[in-house]
Structure 1
Amino acid sequence: MSTKITVLLRGILILGLLACLAVQILIPTGLFLGDATAPVPAKIGLSIFVVLGLVCVQVAIVAVWRLVSLVRQNTVFSPASFRWVDTVIAAIITASVFVLLAGYVVAEVDDAPGLILVTGVFALLLAGVGLVVYVQRMLLVQATGFSAELEAVI
């Protein structure tokens, strides 16, 4: 991977991390200062699920950062990369659970069947992304095996 691409990717990861931090601060603040009609337990629950969901995104960003570092060091086909890919998969699946929980809280406060459907579909899409990353992990396992065989031949 070229240096320009890794620098660009790291810049995007930094922007994503900063955006997650900003949303983690603004969402709970906005919920408690903005809407006076929603019950406080719902505000607390929604704040917790949004913040924890964004923590999952931040964990995935850090794991991708480490994978980019492994690519730059030409050690991506090592067992260390599996730990970071597993971290990304776990973060994505956990984030999909928090999306479902946040949708449930919103559904309890506001009777919006369309919103429930949208959060359910979004959670399924996130779980699908997790499965795609899992398939890519299996490809990484195969590539690591081929890399080890090639090193043995050389």
Structure 2
Amino acid sequence: MLLNSFLWAAIQDYETAQANSENDQQIREGLERAQRMLKQSQKRDYYKILGIKRNARKQEIIKAYRKLASQWHPDNFQNEEEKKKAEKKFIDIAAAKEVLTDPEMRRKFDAGEDPLDAESQQGGGHPFHRSWNTWQGFNPFSSGGPFKFKFHFN
């Protein structure tokens, strides 16, 4: 990715500058910002998952979530391979909604931290994870999960 190459180059430049001027606060802040941006670029982008702009309001987020969740719901797929792909996509869509509709989680995400990433959390994980099988027992299709689905048939 072009962005990652740019960020790696920026980090190297900041590290070189810091070696020549160890006490420069501006260089240290630039290095930390570039490192944070690189880390975030390598993780899930919840805005991109939902296909919304970074300044989207809660109503827009929920609308995008509903549209994508109904499109990618695993029950819509019969083929096992397609179903597994849909499950992963559905999990990412639910995680994006979870983060972007919670003001504190969204603030953390916008600051470069993934509030659902166990690596960035001290103590305790989260129910969303990249792998369906390692969801720590969370299943959005069971009655015990945080999501409640009601299906209305005509």
| TM superposition score category, shorter chain reference | 0.3 to 0.5
Higher relative contact order (CA 8 A, sep 6+): 1
Higher helix share: 1
TM-score normalised according to structure 1 size:
0.34
TM-score normalised according to structure 2 size:
0.34
